[in-house]
A and B are shown apart, each in its own frame.
Chain A
């Protein structure tokens, strides 16, 4: 028997929902931090010899920062979706939010690793051969698309929360 006079749903469900939001942000930040640091070190090393190319070479750093924004979006969507007072929050919703957060977060982590390594190699190579700039940007775009896939699936999954019952 339950004393849940005002709480609708299952008590343990918010745990998984909140952990989903945490996973989205923390893993995306891991990817963003790796991408920023790895390509930033490359830019600094390259800039010693070719300082005029540094501002152009900040592109991988900006793309890595966007991954943190994707994680922030999903984390805020999830944590504002957990509101048992207004809408019942069942374990279905908790697990949906957990999967949404994990998909966005782990995809952001992998994309960040790719952006970091490609950015580091790309800016160093661009300093020696200026024709490689477009090629580096193309590869970075493919790497960024991975995080976008994770964001799309995360948004689809978090919209499933609240659809477990017909009411």
Chain B
């Protein structure tokens, strides 16, 4: 056993969980919750787009770009999950404080990317649905509402940036030299 026994702090309970638990859950959240956000945005946009296109079929091909903006959010999640899992290595000293810190950083990196992409996908989906509905009534509005969608998609990028900065903290300690 190689960790400091903080027997008088409730945070001692956190030290009993292996860094693999934290890393694995973080990686799963980064891909799973990102895809949840992308799908939420796609169904909100897609249903409005199809409904509005009944009377204005010209809008379909242009407004697919809103669906693609939502899909990009899922791609961010895939990329970051792949990056995070390359940082997950077989820990030579599983309960060394540096290993615990690496585990925590992968966990929070995954949470940041996952939830930022969830919010971004939902936001872009709502605006995309309004874009389709207003484009069906007045075709000059498409490009103007697209500007608002671009502001929305920046949120997913913020999450990816911070997630990648934080995952650079995931340095595992080397093996103990006997």
Contacts and interface: CB of A to CB of B under 8 A. Distances in A.
Interface in B106-145: 107-108, 111-112, 115-116, 119-120, 122-123, 126-127, 130-131, 133-134, 137-138, 140-141, 144-145
A122 interface: no
A123 to B, nearest CB: 11
B6 interface: yes
Contacts of B138: 47-48, 51
A64 B11 CA distance: 36
A45 B137 CA distance: 10
Interface in A57-103: 58, 61-62, 64-65, 68-69, 71-72, 75-76, 79-80, 82, 84, 91
Interface in B122-174: 122-123, 126-127, 130-131, 133-134, 137-138, 140-141, 144-145, 147-149, 151-152, 154-155, 158-159, 161-162, 165-166, 169, 173
Nearest to B161: A72
Interface in A11-60: 11-12, 14-15, 18-19, 21-22, 25-26, 29-30, 32-34, 36-37, 40-41, 43-45, 47-48, 51, 54-55, 58
B150 to A, nearest CB: 10
Contacts of A11: 3-4, 15, 97, 100-101
B178 interface: no
Contacts of B130: 40-41, 43-45
B39 interface: no
Given A4-B4, A40-B127, A72-B161, A18 B105 contact: yes
A133 interface: no
A101 to B, nearest CB: 10
- Please classify how large the interface on chain A is, using the bins under 10, 10 to 19, 20 to 34, 35 or more: 35 or more
Q: Which secondary structure dominates where chain B touches chain A?
A: helix
A54 B141 contact: yes
B111 to A, nearest CB: 5
B112 A21 contact: yes
A69 B157 CA distance: 11
A37 to B, nearest CB: 4
Interface of A: 1-4, 6-7, 9-12, 14-15, 18-19, 21-22, 25-26, 29-30, 32-34, 36-37, 40-41, 43-45, 47-48, 51, 54-55, 58, 61-62, 64-65, 68-69, 71-72, 75-76, 79-80, 82, 84, 91
18 contacts: A3-B2, A4-B4, A12-B6, A12-B9, A14-B104, A15-B100, A26-B115, A26-B119, A29-B116, A32-B119, A47-B141, A54-B144, A61-B148, A62-B151, A68-B155, A79-B162, A82-B101, A91-B11
Interface of B: 2-4, 6, 9, 11-12, 14-15, 93, 96-98, 100-101, 104-105, 107-108, 111-112, 115-116, 119-120, 122-123, 126-127, 130-131, 133-134, 137-138, 140-141, 144-145, 147-149, 151-152, 154-155, 158-159, 161-162, 165-166, 169, 173, 176
Given A36-B123, A75-B162, 17 more contacts: A7-B98, A10-B4, A12-B14, A12-B100, A29-B119, A30-B119, A37-B123, A40-B152, A41-B126, A47-B134, A48-B134, A48-B137, A51-B140, A65-B151, A71-B158, A79-B165, A91-B9
